[in-house]
A and B are shown apart, each in its own frame.
Chain A
Amino acid sequence: MLEVLGLRRVYGSLIAVNGIEFALQPGDIFGFIGSNGAGKTTTIRMLATLLEPTSGTARLNGFDVVKEPMEIKRRIGYMPDFFGLYDDVKVWEYLDFYSTLYEVPVRERPSVIDNVLELTDLTVKKDSFVSTLSRGMQQRLCLAKCLVHDPELLLLDEPASGLDPRARAELKQLIAELGRMGKIVIVSSHILPELADFCNTVGIIERGDLMAFGSVRDVVKTIQAAKVIEVHVIEGAGEGSMFLHGKPFVTNTHMLGSTTFKVEFEGTEQDQAEMLKSLVDAGFQVTEFREESADLEDVFLRVTTGAVQ
């Protein structure tokens, strides 16, 4: 379990991260969303022991980031937003080097290297020089490096930046797989569609403050006070809109066209079903009745102002 407890980092008069708090469980894939300069990388670097918090701390399975950095290092895998690999060695030599640093027993190293190469789909590149790998492959090799010691927490800072759509899709699958393996994965990004697909928890950070945190559904719910339901009828959208206006739980209605209108609604799902029934009973020929759900992008735009530090 990862507990982030009042983590704060100040640079002079600038508050980069302002006492953020959250907790993650094994298997959680946490999408850390924020504009450039919002404080994502600073937070991740503090969790990776690469930056001393001004105050606060974080605990990974009981080990304190500030007081026990060496124990934390043994339990995390960190992939920076920008990184370089030793390009004059072969892929397996690169992984062998890091296996040594992470004190993987000598006998286990060959199988560990084979396993992480298989997981990251780089087996065929085992004997290639790192310099010959494409950007996507280097990204996967960096991830493979993060996995040689079977970490409990993975910190991936903008892992998909600079990747083509195919490499991006492969990376998403890989991260989802890591979550299924029971690892806590923190993925930062400012590209929302990247995260929405595979994260089960999200946090939105702006100017160092964690503006929202929770499961994607919960976070979306918190910003969506009223449901918006789009109704399509064969004819009489205006009458339909008038019909529902003033009904219980309906706060507003809008015409979208001669056959479509929108209803802002605050009731439960049961109330929603009742509303549909009343429409049909009143003789409206309903062809479509669907709730417009907000997505992460809506949430992000709603809770942030776009200001960066």
Chain B
Amino acid sequence: MTQSKFKQLFLQNPMFAEVQRAKRSLLSEHNWRGGQLAVRLLIAVFYLFLLVMTMSFVDDIEPFLVMYIMLGLATIVLPSTLHGAIAGEREQRALDMLLVAPVTPGQIVVGKFAKALLTIGLLVVFIGLPAMFIELVHQSSPAYAQYNYGPDSNGFVGYFTSLALVVVTSLMIGAITMWVSSKTKSKAGAMLGTIGALFVLFIVVPSIGGVVNFVYPGVSEALTSTSPFVLLYWAYMGFADNYGYSYGYGYEERAQSAFYVLPTMIAMALLTVLFLVLATRNLQRIALGRTD
């Protein structure tokens, strides 16, 4: 990527106004009614429940469980946020007006994707920070450190690795959603397509890997590791063997094993870029009328 292209996409991209528009839409009283209000109240209640549980049972809650909640939310929230990015504009017949504005398809995709960054940022603040709080409490408690098997996780190494894993996974989910959205003409189609793609990637492929692994141990770890839910456990608790438990390994071995997830994270980051490039290409085709 040339310097000017980088500048055009990330530094001087007028499409970042999308974030402002999303913020206005989110805060507008128009969306604080009916079903929207009910969903928002539900989220608020859920979040309060999470906070109360965290504070009340801080000694008993494993931080990685909170990280699982964060990952689970990411797989729901990101497709919900981005599935209409392009498909919704097409469905609403608003895309033409965007395409005649002096912005490139790449800028549109990056601008729309910026909403994913906003969403991920909110997840990190609202879910990641409570998890960090638990981790801090655990690490500062000698009694807890001595509990049972010694440090029961990879500590801060595990926390930050798993946080990075959730963020990278969220980015990839966002990029997949953008790609599916650029391929479909309706929001519902984009949502279903994204769920289908994530189901294949996170459930079907790792399951096939699990079966193959069961028959031929050690052959298909790469397949199993396409599931961020498996990886998250490894990152936080330590990768021990093919059965995924860590007990019996020393802290250092487990801390090092947290980095076993790095190759997958790099692969996910590359997939993120790939899906965004594919979404841009699809939008380019739409912009030139090469598709109906």
0 or 1 for each of B11-24: is its CB under 8 Å from A? (1 = yes): 00011010011001
**Given A97-B20, A100-B17, A101-B17 in contact, is the A49-B30 Cβ separation under 8 Å?**
no
> Nearest B residue to A73 by beta-carbon distance?
B102
**Given A70-B102, A100-B14, A101-B14 in contact, is the A50-B25 Cβ separation under 8 Å?**
no
A78 partner, pick from B28, B94, B96, B287, beta carbons under 8 A:
B96
Do A86 and B21 have beta carbons less than 8 Å apart? yes
> Nearest B residue to A104 by beta-carbon distance?
B14
Query: Which chain B residues lie closer than 8 Å to A129 at the CB level?
Result: 28, 30
0 or 1 for each of A127-164: is its CB under 8 Å from B? (1 = yes): 00101000000000010010000000000000000000
B residues 96-123 near A (Cβ < 8 Å) are 96-104
> Nearest B residue to A9 by beta-carbon distance?
B289
Q: Does A198 make an interface contact (CB < 8 A)?
A: no
> Nearest A residue to B29 by beta-carbon distance?
A129
A74 to chain B, nearest CB (A): 5
B7 to chain A, nearest CB (A): 14
Do A93 and B93 have beta carbons less than 8 Å apart? no
Could you name 7 residue pairs across A and B whose Cβ atoms are closer than 8 Å?
A: A50-B99, A70-B104, A73-B101, A86-B21, A93-B24, A98-B97, A101-B14
When chains A and B are docked, how far (Å) is the Cα of A100 from the Cα of B103? Answer: 11
Q: Does A84 make an interface contact (CB < 8 A)?
A: yes
Q: Does B31 make an interface contact (CB < 8 A)?
A: yes
B102 partner, pick from A48, A85, A103, A131, beta carbons under 8 A:
A103
**Given A52-B288, A89-B28 in contact, is the A74-B102 Cβ separation under 8 Å?**
yes
When chains A and B are docked, how far (Å) is the Cα of A84 from the Cα of B289? Answer: 19
Query: Which chain B residues lie closer than 8 Å to A48 at the CB level?
Result: 96, 100
Query: Which chain A residues lie closer than 8 Å to B92 at the CB level?
Result: 84, 86
Pick the most buried of B99, B101, B103: most chain A CB atoms within 10 A of its CB.
B101
> Nearest B residue to A93 by beta-carbon distance?
B24
When chains A and B are docked, how far (Å) is the Cα of A82 from the Cα of B288? Answer: 18
Do B24 and A89 have beta carbons less than 8 Å apart? yes
Q: Does A51 make an interface contact (CB < 8 A)?
A: yes
A23 to chain B, nearest CB (A): 22
Q: Does A190 make an interface contact (CB < 8 A)?
A: no
Do B102 and A51 have beta carbons less than 8 Å apart? no
Q: Does A80 make an interface contact (CB < 8 A)?
A: yes
Do A86 and B30 have beta carbons less than 8 Å apart? no
Query: Which chain A residues lie closer than 8 Å to B31 at the CB level?
Result: 88
A residues 117-131 near B (Cβ < 8 Å) are 129, 131
Do A145 and B97 have beta carbons less than 8 Å apart? yes
When chains A and B are docked, how far (Å) is the Cα of A59 from the Cα of B200? Answer: 49
